[in-house]
Structure 1
C-alpha cells in the first residue's frame, strides 16, 4: 500500500514539474473550409520558409511546420489553416 502511494506521489510530481506543451488554437472552422495541404505548402514556400522537416495538422486546429526561416534559422510555426496566416512562431535566437 505504501509503495503504491509513493509511486502515485512521484507520478503527480513529475506531471506538475514537466512543462505543458500545447499548440495554439488556430481555428474552429471545419476541415472542409481549410486550405488543402498542397495550397498551404505553396503559401508557406512563398513566405520563404524552407527545408520543411515536418508538416502536420494539430489537434487544436492548426497547420504546423518545423523548418527554417528565409535567413536559415530553425523555426516552429503554427498557421491558421483557413487563411494561411501565422498564428505563432518560435524561431531560434528570437
Structure 2
C-alpha cells in the first residue's frame, strides 16, 4: 500500500515542477513592492498565516493558510500584487 502511494506521489512530482515553470512575471525589479507589503495585504485580506514569501520566475510565491484556512501556494505580481496563479494540491 505504501509503495503505491509513493509511486503516485513520484508520478505527480514532474507535473508540479512543470506547472511552476509556466508561471512568470515580467516586471522590472525597480517597480517591485516589498514582500512585507504583500504579506500585510494578505493578512488584511483574511489569510490565517503567511509562512513564506519567496521569488520564483519573477513572481512572489506565497505559502501559508488562506482566508478559508486551507493550505495555499499562490503566485502574485510583485508590482500590483495581482494573483497570477495558484497551485492546486491533490
- Consecutive aligned runs of 4 or more in structure 1 exceeding 2 Å deviation: 90-93
Unaligned runs of 5+ in 1: 1-16
CA–CA distance in 2 between the matches of 1:35 and 1:29? 11
Q: Secondary structure at the match of 1:19?
A: helix
Unaligned runs of 5+ in 2: 1-11
Q: CA RMSD in A?
A: 2.2
Maintained 8 Å contact 2:74/2:87? yes
Q: In structure 2, what is the equivalent of residue 49 of structure 1? A: 47
Q: Which has the higher helix share?
A: 2
User: 1:26-76, CA deviations, whole angstroms, 9 ceiling, x for partnerless residues?
Assistant: 2x2211101112222112222222222211111x11001111111111110
Q: Secondary structure at the match of 2:27?
A: coil
CA–CA distance in 2 between the matches of 1:57 and 1:35? 12
- When normalised by structure 1's length, the TM-score is 0.67
